[in-house]
Structure formats: C-alpha cells, structure tokens
Structure 1
Amino acid sequence: MKKLFLIFLLTLTYTINLTTNAEVRFVNKTGSSTPPYTSWATAADSIQKCINISQSGDTIYVANGTYKEYVRMTPNISLIGSGIDSCVIDTRGLTLPQFRAVIIKDSCLVEGFQIVVHYNTENFAGIYGNGVGKETVIRNNLIKDCTIGISFIQTSALVQDNIIRNTRDGIQIFPVFSDEYPIVERNYISDSEFGISVEWPLKPTITNNTIYFQEGFSGIKVFAPESSFCANNIVIVEQAVDGISYEDTNGPFFNNAVIGNCSFQAMRFWKPNEIYNNIVADGDRGIEVVDNEGVVIQYNNVWNMNTPYINYSPDSTNLSENPMFVDKNNYDFHLQMFSPLIDAGNPTILDKDGSRSDLGIYGGPLGDIYHYLDLPPAIPESFITNIFGDTAISVSWELNTEADFKYYNIYRDSISGFIPDSITFLSSIDTSYFEDVIKGIGKNIYYKITSVDSQFNESIAGEEIAVILTGIDSPTINTIAHYNLFQNYPNPFNPETIIGYRLKEPGYVKLTVYDIKGELIEKLVNEYKDKGYHEVKFTAYGSEGWKNKLIGLASGIYLYKLDVIDSRHIPVYSQINKMILVK
C-alpha cells in the first residue's frame, strides 16, 4: 500500500510540475528571436520555431504580421493570434507545398488567425487534425482559399465562431470510432460548394451556424445513424442542390431555416426524426421525407415554395405564412412584431425568455431574446398597367402577404417626382388593383402607391407610374424609376434603424454615416448594386460578428450620405439626410 501511495504521490507531483512549469511564449516579426521566446523583446520570428521548443501546457501569443510557413503543433499547446484582420498564416507560394497549412494535435487551441492556403489540388486544408479529443478548440479564425477549410478525422473537437470563405468544403469531419462527439457552432461559411459535412458514426452537435452560397451542393449534410443534434442553423442559397440533408439520424432537429432555391430539396430526412419549428422559404422544393415511417414533422413553416412537401402530407400544426422577416435582403431573419411565427412553435419547446417557442433561428432555447420591430409593410412592386383609349387606366401589382397588412394608399399629381402627402392623396383600397378616369384632364398624370398595415405604418412608395400625353389619340403609360435616398425608419431611433434607397439604374453605391462634425462613423455600402429598391441596417452600438466593432454612439444628430456612380464611371446622384439617435 505504501508503495502504491508513493507512486501516486510522484505522479501527482509530476503533473503539478508540468502545469506549474507551463510557459507563455511570444512570436513577433520585430523580436530578437532569442530562445526561449518568453517576452515580446525576445519573441521568435517564426511560429514553428516557437512551437518546436514548447512543452505541454504552453501558450504562444502571435503578434500582427504575415507568417509564410506551415504550422505543425504538438499536443496541449495554445496558439493565439492577435486577430483575423492582421495576423496571417499564408502558405501561398511556398517552395515545398504541403497539403495542410496548420496541423493540430490533441488538446490544442488555435484562435485569432487568418489562414490563406495554397489552393491547387484536392487536398489542401486550412486546419487539419486526426484523433483529437474534446479539449481541442478551433475558434475565431478566418480561413479562405483552400479545398477544405477545417478537416478532422476521429474527433470530439469544438469548432466555434470561425469564418470560412471560398472553399470546396467548409467544415468536414470523418469518423473512425463511434464514441466521438464533435461540436460545430456559430461558424459562418460562404462561397463554398459544401458547408458542413459530418459522416457516420459520429454523434455531432451542429448549432447556430450560418451558411451562404450563390451556387453550391449542400449546406449541411449529416450522415449518422446515432443520435445527432441540429438546431438554429440557417442556409441561405441563390442556387443549390440540398439545403440540409439529415440522413440516417434520429436526433432532434428544430429551429433551422433554409432560404432560397434548392433544386432537389431544401430539407431532406431519411430516418425517424422529430422535426419542429423550422422555416423553409422562397424556393422550388421544400421538405422531402425519403422514408416517412416514424418521422414527426410539426410546427414548421413552408412559404413561397413551388413544391412545399415531397412524399409527406403535413398536419395542421404546420404553416404556410409569410414569415415577416425584418430584412431578408440584408440577411436579418429576426421576426417582425406581428409575424404569425411568433409563439407558434412546439409548445414543449420554450424560448430563452420562457415563452412558447418562435419558429426560425432565433427561437427555441438556443435562440435570442430580442425586441420585435413593428415595421411598415413591403413596398408595392411588379406593376402591370393598361390604358383604355384616352378615358381610363388600370394598375395591378403583387398583393402584400404580411399578417398585419390592411390597405393601399393611392397618390396622384401632375408633377413627376412628387412627394406623397395629404394634398396628393387620391384614395385607399384593400385590393392590388385600381382604375382611374383620365379623360378630360388634359395634362400628364403621375401615380404613387404605398402599403399600410393595421398599426398605420406606411411603406415607401413604389415606382412612379406615369400617364404621358403624346398629342395623338391615346396617351402612353409607363413606370418611372428615380434615384432616391429615403428617410430612415424609425426616426428617432435606438439602437437600430433602416436606411432605404432606390437606384434608377445599376451602379456603384457608397452609403456612409457621419457625425454632425463630418467625421466618418461607418461605411454601410461600398459596392456595385442592381437597380431598384435596397435597404441597409445601421446600428448605434456597432456591427456584430465578423464585421468591424464600433464604439457605442452618443445621442444626437447623424448624417447619412448616398453617392451613386453609373456604369460609365460618372457620378449621377448624391444626397445627404439627417437621422436622430435618442438613448
């Protein structure tokens, strides 16, 4: 017994010494590169140099700079960069290209790096690990320009808060044994062919991820016969094959969303699953069930899909309603105040505030607590006009589908570009069609149409409709587009407001915010935009996530300025408006 106790005491002493002797080391291009690299002054000029002399438990801090090298870690090392904007591991152009930029070992942390990879074969990965356990953490990195962003074999690692761009596969995890529980959460993946792929027989937890691509194959694909957990993820696509494919799994699947057009299906299920509180919207094919035995699909919303369900007949708990997102065009999928999806989820699933769950990615226990905005209805659009000789005109358009929509206001004037107000008001109607008599007026006529909800919030007017007298038998009728910078709403605001603008033609747009002294606060838009109406959100406390963080703003008057340059590189529009922040 004494011998066993002595062995235990020696082992405990050795373990304590390992922890006590853990070093903090530094990497900096401007350091003297003097081992053991334990100060910024003596920092290594290479990440790998520092790793090579490090021991289990050490932490390495890496300063700003571009490090042209491959990184091969040893177990239980923490490698922390100074930030994804300025701390870069770049393997492009290296004379001996290898398949992986960073290879991690068990119990490692990699955080705060931008990783740019030599990309010309099928095997180049940003971060790769094989056989790493649950103490391994990959978080807060930007990985781009590679075949696979993050690749694991046999892992229970935590992959969290990473940005992955321009890859074939965003996150790819393959198994060896079944007792592995990888966690993939809060990652943002864009411009990839495949977003997140997890294969049998892992037991993954996949939550709160955002995947966006213009054209790709699959947003999330889980092939795992054991229990998986998939919640509060969103896949936004212009064109894809699958949104989310949940094959041979039997775990919970709730509060996910697929927005956009999927040629095969937005969501696909193979085995017994409980599928609650999800949203599928604005595409071709909705939810497909390959084998519907044991599948429970309830409290979901499938909206604006050509084929809502494939091989499944939904019950009455499932909805087909306009979700009333705050700003779908700018990827804000919070629900507006009167959305029919609020408190419409599975009654046994609660939101964070303890109320019945909402549908969509901000509902359920992994969602958010937020204030529902009461916004105006969508702007009337897609006008179809007809003229009947010189006596009357008719106009029709797409009917608004918001749950709280009430009626339309029609405005008329003899001056193009007029402002809709009580003087130019003509009538209110509750249908998306009206006729007006023009015989005998003897001058050009211009119409504008707005939409109004039950709280009397009124939208911005749609495109101007013009009836032009030509001096011949019948006048002509057409719609007229203008450049406009609209007043923000709400105004005053705290902490968020929406700024809308309309482009007559496609052009390069700069939308900037200044304080009253003319100091630049934020560039909201700085890119080419198509013609038509656009909106962008401005937040007084700063942008979140992977965008630049702003210092909270004080109450006061702020200016927002729109500049438009056309395809000939000629400035065609410039306008400044005021908005008021009240805290």
Structure 2
Amino acid sequence: MSDSIKDYYQNARNIPESNILGLPLPRKVISVGDWSDPHVVKLGFDDQNIVDSTWAKWDSTHCVDTAKFHAWQYFIEEIANPIRLHLENNNLTETIRYIVMCQGVPYKIQAVGDWSSPGNVSVDGLLCMLNTDDYDDFVETIFNNLVDDCYPGCVPPPYHCYSSPVISNPYFDKDSTFNFNSRFKPDNYTGSWGGYNYRLSYLVSRLDGLSFEIIKDMIDKSVAADKSGEAAWILDNTPNILGNGLSGQFITAKNRLENYGFNVLYDFTNDWITHNTYTEGPIMGYTSLGVHAVGSNPAYQTYVSDSLLFDYANGSVFNTFESFNAYSISTLRRIGQGVMTEFTSIGGTSGAGHVWEPYASRVSRAHVYFPYYAMGYNQIDAVWQGFSVLAWRNVVVGDPLTTIAWGKQQLAENLTWSGTNLVTGEIDITNHIITIEDSSVINFRHQGFITGDGKLMIGNNVTFNIYSWQKGLFLSYDSNNPRLVWGEHPTFGSSANYNIYRKIDTSAWSLIAQTTSLEYTDTEMLINIPGDLAPNLFYKILASSELPGYDTSNTVQASAEKGKNKITANNEIAELSYSLDQNYPNPFNPETRINYDIKENGLVQLTVYNILGQTIKELVNEIQSAGSHSVNFNAADLPSGVYIYKLKSGDYLSSRKMLLVK
C-alpha cells in the first residue's frame, strides 16, 4: 500500500521523482556478536514499531546496559542514513522543508522494552533534527538519557521519566502577531541540549490510516481544503481536570480565534461535550480532554465515532490531551483512548498526536496550533509551532501542504479562486494572475490584501468583504478598459457614496464619476499588460456618507493610454463618431465630469454658458487627437442654476444643459 499512497500523493502535489525515496523496510532481525552473547539484540518490526523483544526481560542479564543497545542504531542505519544520502545526492538538503512518510515506514522506537511510558520514541521527532552536527551521537545520547533517567539500577521506572529528555522546540509559537515571517526554513531554528547544538532541519508528517481509500480521501481533502474561514472550531475545556495552566490554553485559543473573526464553539463546563446535533455548518478543528473528560464513560473506545460525528470541513484537524491518540495509526481503536485513525475514518483530514504517554504540556498546544492554522500557516507549520519539545513522542498525520487560508506569500503560479476564500496576509501577485470567478466571495481579515505588478481578473458579482478602506480597491484586467471593483466601506456600509478620481501621468487628480455601486469601468482608457510600460494611470476613491468627513481608499495603477476607439457595453470596439455625453453627476455640487468623443484630429472647443448665453468658462480650446476625452468642471464660485455646455469640433456642434444645486 505504501507505493500506492506514494504514487497518488506524488500526482496530487506534482512532486518530482528526485524527491521520492523508497526505504527497503523492514529488516526483521539485527544480530550483534555471537548469539550466545547476552548482549545480542534481536530487533523486530511489529506494526510499524521498532521493538527489541530481548529488552522485555528485566533480570540480572538484561538490564540497563542492554537497554541502551541498538534501537537507535536501527533508526540511524535503516531510516536516517538513506534519507540523508538521498538528500545530499539530489541537492535537496537545503531546499526541502518537509519530509512525508508513507504508511509502512516505522513511526516509533521502543527505547526500553517495558510497559511503561518511556517505552517509545517518535521516529518523526528524531528525523526533524536530521542535519544536526554529530547526529548519530546526538540520537544515541537521547536514548541513553531516556534509559538512564527511567531505569537507574534495573528498577521499575520512577514517574519523573515522563519528562525525559526535554529538548526545547526553537520553533514554538514564533508568530503570535501573525505577520507570517515565521514560515518554516530548514536549519533556521536552533537550540542546545546535552552538549549538542541541534537544528530543526525538517518538519515531518505521515500519510497513514486504516486503508488506502481513507488516506486517498485525506489527500483529496487536503488539496481541496476549505479556505472560506467559515468553518467552526470546537474547544472543549474541562477546567476541573485541566487546572488553571492548561485551562488557560483553551481560553487563549478561544480569544485568538475569535479576535480574528473565526467561529468558536467553546465549552467551559465539566461535562463531556457531544455535538452530534450541531447543524449550523462544518467543523474545522476539534480539541478536548478526550476520554479523560468527566462523563466520558462508557465511551472509552468509541467516543470519536459515537460523539464526534460532525460535518467535517476539508482540511479539518484533531488534537486531544490524551495519552495514546497516535499510539497506533494503523488500527481503529485503543481501549481508553480516542485515536487519530478513528478521526480520519469519520471524515477528518489530519491532526497531531503522540506515540506514547506524554505530559499534557507536551501535546501540540491548541492555542498555537489552531490559530496558526486558521490564519494561513501550513498545517504542519502550525502543529510543529504548537509543540513545546522535540524528539520525544510527537507525530503529525496529514499532508504538510494543507492550508485553509491565504496568508502572506509571493505567488509562484497563477491561481483561480471560486466560492469563498479567506485572505489574511498580503499576496504579492507580481508576474502572475489571479482569476476570481463569478459570484465568488473574498473575505479579507488581519493583513489581507492583494498587491504586486500582476493581473487580477475579477468576474461578475464578486463580493469583497474588507476590514480597511485603505486596502479595499482593486483593478481588474478582465476587459480592455480598467475596471475598478471595491468592497463596501467597513464603516459607512450601504449608505456610502463613492467619488472616483483618476490621474494620468503627473496631472492633478480629477473626479470622473460618482456612484453608490461597488464597481466602475473607465471606458475612456485602454490598459496595457502589466510590465510593458511604466504605470501612468492611477485611481482612488473617496467614500462618504451622511456622517461628517470622508475616507480615501488605496491607489491602484496601470499602464494605459486614452482610447482611440469607443468600447461598447458588450466590450466590442466601435468606430468613433462625434458625441457629447451628459455630464456626471447631474445635478452636481460643485464638481462634475463631461465626456466627449472626437472623430478626427483637430481644434476642439468646449465652453460653459449661463442661461443668458454669457460665457462662463472655456474648458477646452486646443488641438486634440481623435478619441475619447473628458474634462472636469468646478463651479465652486458660481451660484446655483442651469448652465449650458457646448462642444465644437470641425463642422460638429452640440450642447447640453446641466444643473448646479448648492
């Protein structure tokens, strides 16, 4: 099945062949020395667990010295070394960020052959520090430290070995203000432990589950993750069990999510949470005390599939404060635990767990994991930032490339958006195109914006929900004419009036239109492909309402020229004729815009008269080229009344009336 998973994932994410490595596992037995030697280790491979059956005997022959022997060596020789060699041979050591293990690769090592909590170490937790200097010795020291602390003098383990070894995660909670400057980089996050300077080299996750169909479904949901930002997050706090410390993590998770506009289902009671009847929408994340919560009996084996039957959004994640929620990721249930495989079997996509009993503080902390993921970090970046320690029990299941929001990034390829999309950071689209399909909804939050010298192709009836008017105006290249589209003013709302201003080259800003709608097409101008010419056309919008004052939008720009042909409503190019349009707005106070077309090059005169025929102002008196033209008329120093404007060019003569109301 491992090959099938690899093939499907490689195709889904377009992974090059040079990034694929097959590990010839398992090697059933490793023998060291003579079989009669009491230090011979028989290393078995049992259900994805590297385990030594000899260590299970605690007698005078097999004790601490034997317990330190060779489990780490199997990991180095059969897993770590082939990966390191492949990365070096393919020049990938410094370029990749993530390692994805397909089902079949061992995910835990039984460090000491006993029933107790120290009995397992995560393969993934060790691999994440693969580029650490003296890595082999570093890994051996981790195992020796674990065994020495837990088995001093061949006696049953004291409880303090739960905490050993403690290797701090230098990537923990690095971006609490969500500036998106902490996306994972290999070997960028470092620390010290046991005399070693370790490096967080790669983030490791697994594509694992009960069957190929379930894993395939996980991949499909990751590729098509719900990026609307509308799915809810369940936080089941149980304060009488958690105590103030961990309870505070739930509260912080709630506050962080709600502060950025996410829907949170928060339970602060001491009763077991069951929300099978929740029908208000999909669920994106779930965390709780699991079976440890009060009232969980008799659901010890089935609470996930019995009580958590939500409508899970594509990309949904699972993270509970339980001992063994990733004890096995190829079996359905374990008595007394809710396991990861049960979550993915009922529609979940991914999550974080641990291969054996940790302190609760070692679980990926929901107040980091959930908000980071919600705001646009990759799922694996988010969960690893939630781990406070490394190289111990941690395991992540799921596609590391899963994202559920558009965080800060430089676009690497053209995109098409449809439906609802959440944008939380600036997206630089330089040299690329984003196409937004008809009737889509784009929700901007936090620092969300689209910038850069690229192209936006905005469909019809697209809604932009904006948090800042200074980041609310967009220019669409879906036609030959510049089309301005903006979000409803976040304060003025539906009562807003919008004054559209244009500037060409270094000329002054001029009012070209007033509207209450949320888009405007400037038919006088033709826009060029970005990058062909320096930007010479600029737009901004002043929003106002019955409230005093006004608010100025951001400025958008393009390279453009005045049209020599007239663009019809159907986007067809028609031959120009002479025409004089009605001024806009009309009535006006004190400024209005007059548009006109000239068929041939020549002298153009545009003059304003009062009702008595007296000349008020000469707006144009010059040679102009054929094409569409416009001019502003400011009547700030004139009294209210009817005025006439007259256009003369060659044999063409036309006039219209306009009304100034003060």
TM-score normalized with structure 1 length: 0.27
Rg: which structure is higher? Answer: 2
Identify, as 1 or 2, the structure richer in helix: 2
More strand by share: 1
More contact order relative to length (CA 8 Å, sep ≥ 6): 2
